[in-house]
Structure 1
């Protein structure tokens, strides 16, 4: 909560408490609290009221007449305590709802990247003239993807920071509403998310030092968006990588194109398991093609001279992780793979040639029983040493920005905590990337095992 919201909260509480103060103190406290409450409420109306403050305002409004009535009516007497107590308790409950819901659905605060580079970001849009759009019947419609880059940058420390979820607050609100609708929640629950600012500077000049930067391509989860792993992307970019995350139109919850059009998700479950698996395989294949196309287009980007496209990791979360596995199987320009809790889709052959790290949530009885056997099969068949790391306390959304702004319910975001979740996922990813793309620590297994339960799949032993 910001200072204005805190003032509103405290003044509302003071109006409730004033009823219970001695007569000598009551007038001063009531007048002061009422003045602060009124001015804060007016200021909130001007700057914008978050829904979490509505019960606080309601509690203050209900309490105000009872606090002020003894001051304006000379013979007014306070109601007997046992009659006033229920009303005071009701007002306190209303007011308490404000900070509780603000804590459950906060404006996300992004962790400060720990690397040696400042981070810049830019948004690009590419159209593939060789691929018709599968989700429309118009033969003139070709596949378009929106990409966001995070890269090592130079720039003043006080430069304006990038908007979260979009290039503008309007775009961010469109995306936030679509994400809420995708999980069946009312959009107002996420109204604080578009208020967040990240640490990246839009269109900052690329860092002069650092040579050529390895590339990390990222595909979000089903109905996810390119910004869903911003904390992860900023941390990795601050350590000298260029991270490129994609929006997949008609799959991502909402994609705002350069001409202002908004494309919402068209990937809908049928309820039939076999049919849904077939559709998921098809959507994964489209995403894999998007990843390869993005790598090709990066070669023509103005940043291309600073990008080392000979050292490229393909990554993704959930369905994006499945797309990363499939893209690597099809496109040998990818050097390494990171699958963030993604169920492998599509054929298992040919085998993966690239070293692969699969991060998984803690396995519970609710986990799809096909998941680990399928993932193990993929990693066992690989032509390189592969790794599966199960992180204790992780849930499926631990591998996204979700812990920063969703209620801290372990079954939803895990139990690692808001600050620890993005730190752990980024640290594990960096250990793998540094080892594979930068010839870092020789004891990769030792580095990974410090974060959870590690399985190593060696080529010579098959596991």
Structure 2
């Protein structure tokens, strides 16, 4: 496998960039070295291009290779004329200089684009366990699918498990990031791009990424059962959007269950290959959009309760799967990001089987809020009351309803996507992913949520409020 060197680029990519630069600058070299430099740089570009085509050419390198091709097309005729004894035509310096600057600028866009939109490199989990992952599909016979007109259509969800596993052999293949296959990963990221209104090729690197999990690995050979953490993604989001976080939790002895919500998630690929795309869209009518959002939240909350039921059946052996007899569903937390956080809050209020709840930057959407009987952790980006006057008061109201201790942590420098995998592969633009950086954002999310889960599901000692305060403005309810 080709490893990455400078700026997130592979060795052939770096060689192609250097070769293109050499072709551009050869015009300014003394006559005695101009020709061998052009020939050598051209050979380097040609060889690296062949390698890149074989292993996979990234769109970020296209401007680099276009410049190299243009420079070669100009250089080759000049070299041929010199061989025939005729003087080679050379542009005047005042014409060549701006052309050189433009070409170097185009070449620079390649490494810059690789840096801004890299292939995500998932951090190695720090816990004691290796991580396995498995994808399952379940249908609830008791719930009709309200998003379709077919009367016999029943609600189906796709879930992905991340769990403590036995170590895999050296060099074993790791799971893809956004799907079981390359096709599924590109379908999912293509749908996410459509949902966000950006060109799909921008996410090609993320769609090709590999995680730290081993597909369908054997469960860790250790005594005891594992607490369960359900996760619901953001509006239009997908089950894998917090993979780095899920892998870290699994390495620490939790089983994380990411849930795809069909007709809400950007795209869900069913086991038979059917692609279910989102039906979520704004209408322009605030009252109607609010009604629909509340309805989607209720469906998600019902999905989460159904998945918890299925996890119990999986533990009892009523469903085939890798974790029979290893799940402690009495120690189950329900979590979610954005719209998933709202669904987690609603699911916890309606389903007392959940022992704890984490809302990650999600505004509550409960038309009839009532008391919670679980501890709650809410993580939030800083929100200007002048921009959104209802968000923090609504969140505070929910936390005050809990009969257990609730925590609100407002994280300075965070944005909405800070709490997901997005900092690993999106441009580090503060409005998109905050200012915490690609790895520090993940460390913050892990540290705060693991501390809360350890305290609530494992009765770990320690001052949870003090730990949260280290990452932002923490309020205890």
TM range (shorter): over 0.9
Which residues of 2 match residues 355-374 of structure 1 at below 5 A?
Answer: 355-364=375-384, 367-374=387-394
Partner of 2:138: 126
Instruction: Please say if 1:36 is aligned against 2:44.
Output: yes
More off after superposition, 440-449 vs 226-235:
440-449
1:3 maps to which of 7, 11, 34: 11
Give the deviation of 1:306 after TM superposition. Answer: 0.6
CA positional deviation for 1:346: 1.5
- Counterpart in the other structure of 1:226: 239
Find the counterpart in structure 1 of residue 180 from structure 2.
Answer: 167
Alignment of 1:297-312 (within 5 A): 297-301=310-314, 302=321, 303-312=323-332
1:331 aligned residue:
351
Residues 367/100 of structure 1: CA separation in 2 closer, same or farther (3 Å cut):
same
- Superposition map of 1:46-445 within 5 A: 46-74=54-82, 75-156=87-168, 157-209=170-222, 211-301=224-314, 302=321, 303-364=323-384, 367-445=387-465
Q: How much does 1:207 deviate?
A: 0.4
| CA positional deviation for 1:82 | 1.5
> Hey, what does 2:24 align to over in structure 1?
16
Query: What SS does structure 1 have at the residue aligned with 2:28?
Result: coil
The Cα of 1:67 is off from its aligned counterpart by 3.6
Deviations 1:141-168 (A, max 9, x none): 1000000000000032432100010000
Which whole-Å CA distance do the structure 1 matches of 2:36 and 2:223 have between them?
Answer: 62
Q: Distance in 1 between matches of 2:377 and 2:248?
A: 18
TM-superposed CA distance for 1:113, in Å, is 0.7
Partners of 2:124 and 2:347 lie apart in 1 by 31
Alpha-carbon distance, 1:58 to partner: 1.1
Distance 1:413 1:320, change over 3 A: same
Deviates more, 1:364-373 or 1:182-191: 364-373
Shift of the alpha carbon at 1:256? 0.1
Write out per-residue CA displacement over residues 248-292 of structure 1, whole angstroms, 9 at most, x where no aligned residue: 000000000000000000111111111111111110000000000
SS in 2 for 1:36: helix
> What CA distance in whole angstroms lies between the structure 1 residues aligned with 2:471 and 2:460?
18
Could you list the per-position Cα deviations for residues 308-343 of structure 1 after superposition, in whole angstroms to 9, with x for gaps in the alignment? 111001000000000000000000000000000000
Runs of 4+ residues over 6 Å off in structure 1: none
CA distance in 1, matches of 2:112, 2:77: 30
Aligned length, in residue pairs: 457
CA distance in 1 between partners of 2:33 and 2:437 (Å): 43
The residue aligned with 1:26 is 34
How far apart, in 1, do the equivalents of 2:468 and 2:398 lie?
19
Which of 438, 452, 455 aligns to 2:475? It is 455
**TM-score with structure 1 setting the length:** 0.96
Structure 1 residue runs of 5 or longer lacking an equivalent are 458-463
TM-score of the superposed pair, with normalisation by structure 2: 0.94
